[in-house]
Amino acid sequence: MFEWAGNIYICRNGMNVMSQLPMSNSAEPLRVIACGAIAREILAVKQANGLDHLDLQCLPAIWHVYPEKIAPALREKIAEARAEGYRRIYIGYAECGTRGEIDRLCEEEGVERIAGPHCYAFFTGTEKFLAECAEEYTAFYLTDLITRQFEAFVIEPLKLDKHPELRDMVFGNYTKIVYLAQTEDEELQKKAKWAADFLKLDYEYRFTGFGDLTPALLKAAGRIPAEGEIKTIAETST
């Protein structure tokens, strides 16, 4: 259903599952500039809700290892979007370890971002995460993307493949891996358990779905639920 093309996932022959939520006063084109780590989920929300006016561009997911690169690149992408004629722009990042740089950018550029400190929080639901998980100091979190690309995101950057002795140095203060799953995928669950075993940590599985991401995108795209209506989003595995 999704194909990777450069730094962005492209949806192919997807079924359009409408959520029957009324559109607000505008279906004006919306440019979402997001982290590549959540491209798959953003496109799933787009597909499930018929958000054909939402155009997605992504920065490399691996930049979470280099957060100083994120805000300057977002500023460039905002300028490009405006040069292309987009008046509505939304930032598909949380704070993401940028030490306030994304928030300063949003204020200066007059755009909004996904609320919350990071994707672990908004996938869980930020209020729930801050209430229940904020003191899990010894938990190492995985999402679908990090699980799927555990070697590229964890093992290789930390050189654990070449220097396994670094494992205890880097992860010695952790006690468990917590897999925050966006989809119910047995193969990814096996991979997450393998990752926990590789790091010699306990393993915990929590299904989150898309959490706060879905309503954030619906709001940005001008799709407003009827009063009291619970969102109905097809959060499908690929």
Distance in angstroms (rounded) separating the CA atoms of residues 54 and 221? 7
Domain count, the chain: 2
- In a domain, residue 117? The reply is yes
Residue 226 resides in a domain: no
Token duo for residue 95: 């704070």
Same domain, 100 and 135: no
Task: Estimate to the nearest angstrom the gap between the alpha carbon of 124 and the chain centroid.
Answer: 11
> In 10 A of CB 100, how many CB atoms?
10
Confidence of residue 116 (pLDDT cuts 50, 70, 90): confident
184 contact partners, CB below 8 Å, separation of at least 6: 207, 237
In a domain, 225, yes or no: no
- Average pLDDT estimate for 133-138: 86
Closest CA relative to residue 58, chosen from 10, 115, 111, 126: 10
What pLDDT digit, counting tens, does each position of 38-70 carry?
999 999 999 999 999 999 999 999 888 788 999
Q: 80 and 31, same structural domain?
A: yes
Residue 140's domain comprises 131-207
Left, alpha or beta for 71 (phi > 0: left; psi -120 to 50: alpha)?
alpha
Q: Kindly state whether residues 73 and 179 are assigned to the same domain.
A: no
State the pLDDT confidence band at 10, using cuts at 50, 70 and 90: very low
- pLDDT, greater one: 17 or 85: 85
β-pairing, 8-11 with 2-5?
antiparallel
- Global pTM? 0.80
Percent helix, strand, coil in the chain (nearest 5)? 40, 20, 40
Q: Is residue 109 one of the residues assigned to a domain?
A: yes
Structure tokens at 159: 């050189």
pLDDT of 7 strictly over 70: no
**For residue 231, is it within any domain?**
no
Q: Is the pLDDT of residue 231 over 90?
A: no
Is residue 237 domain-resident? Answer: no
Please give the DSSP secondary-structure letter assigned to residue 100: T
Q: Is the pLDDT of residue 233 over 60?
A: no
Mean pLDDT in the chain? 85
Condensed to tens digits (0 to 9), the pLDDT of residues 85-104 reads 999 999 999 989 898 999 99
CA 70, distance to chain mean position in Å, is 14
From the CB of residue 105, how many other CB atoms can be counted at a distance below 10 Å? 20
Q: Hey, what amino acid is at 180? A: L
Instruction: Clarify whether residues 19 and 69 are in a common domain.
Output: yes
Q: Supply the pLDDT for residue 103.
A: 95
Q: What is the pLDDT of residues 161-212, one digit of tens each?
A: 999 999 999 999 999 999 999 999 999 999 999 999 999 999 999 999 999 9
What number is the average pLDDT over the span 74-79?
97
